[in-house]
Amino acid sequence: MATTYDKIASTTLGSASSSITFSSIAATYTDLRVTFVGASTGGANLRLQLNADTGTNYSKTNLYGRGATADSARSTNFGPIYIADDGITSTPHFYAIDLFSYAGSTYKTFLWEGSEDNNGSGSVVRGVGLWRNTAAITSVILYDNGNTFNSGTTATLYGIKAA
């Protein structure tokens, strides 16, 4: 039976860093999944950038729960989008992002989940995103503009094959 769920690459930070990059992603899969689990003593907010595109070609709609409130937020014509609802703390937060038909020639859609509970603060997030670009996705950057992710933060890129 063909393998349908492969690890493409994984990075565990050996020291604090403001970004993790997966590059030279081959077009041999159908979908991609990115997982991230990490902490930040500086309160970094996780953002997603595709093919190093910093233009306002991203949009997203997300649901979030913050304990006392449940709501939705939308950002249109935005730069690389925020996956996080709440800044990452010294408590590890978890995110998973599913990028569909990443090698196709249509605009790229993605879903994500975020688990940001800090025992008294934090959020739960579910979101949908769009990158208005027809190019195949060949790089994924998880980053924060000013803060760093702690040493030990891990991100993994998986490929899922339909064929």
Q: What's the Cα-to-Cα distance from 106 to each of 28, 101, 136, 137, rounded to whole Å?
A: 17, 8, 9, 11
Q: Is 51 exposed, middle or buried (0-12, 13-18, 19+ CB in 10 A)?
A: middle
Q: Which among 75, 69, 67, 7 is positioned nearest to 45, based on CA atoms? A: 75
Site for other proteins in 20-79 (CB under 8 A): 35, 37, 39, 63-72
Residue 7, Cβ neighbours under 10 Å: how many? 10
Among 94, 107, 151, 161, contact with other proteins (rule: CB under 8 A): 94
Count CB neighbours of 2 within 10 A.
5
Taking the least distance from each CB to other proteins, the nearer of 131 and 158 is 158
Looking at the Cβ atoms of 53 and 116, the one nearer to other proteins is 116
For residues 66 and 130, which CB has a smaller minimum distance to other proteins in the complex?
66
Name which position in 22, 32, 116, 137 contacts other proteins (CB under 8 A).
116
Instruction: Catalog residues that contact other proteins under the rule CB under 8 A.
Output: 3, 5-7, 10, 35, 37, 39, 63-72, 91-94, 96, 113-120, 122-126, 152, 154, 156, 158
